[in-house]
Amino acid sequence: MADIESTDIRKIIVACDAGMGSSVMLASQLRKQLKGLGIEVEHTPVNSIPADADVVVCHSGLADRARKTAPGTVLIPFTIFIGDPAVTKLVTTIKNGGTVHG
């Protein structure tokens, strides 16, 4: 597990398997929720997570692959594409300040 202070987050990656529409919607939702905070949100395949990612958000079924692609990066696995408590907690922690655990 890795941790990062919310003030150090500059890039969040929403990783997917095959360009699933749901993960694109999640990335769009995160962009809107974090607008104005100086955080870039990108959507990429799980096997192509960029090295400069601070946090990776992906479906729990892809978590092992994401850990291999981006070892040491904070990983937030979720089970529900829209409204998952793990993603809500991430957004709340970023907005309120604190440490993101993943």
Burial 10-41 (b: 16+ CB within 10 A, else e): eebbbbbeeeeeebeebbebbbebbeeeebeb
Residue 16 falls in the annotated catalytic set:
yes
Catalytic residue among 16, 39, 55, 90: 16
Question: Rounded to whole angstroms, how far apart are CA atoms 49 and 67?
Answer: 10
For residue 77, the cross-strand partners are 58
Greatest CA separation for the chain: 33
Residues with a known catalytic role: 16
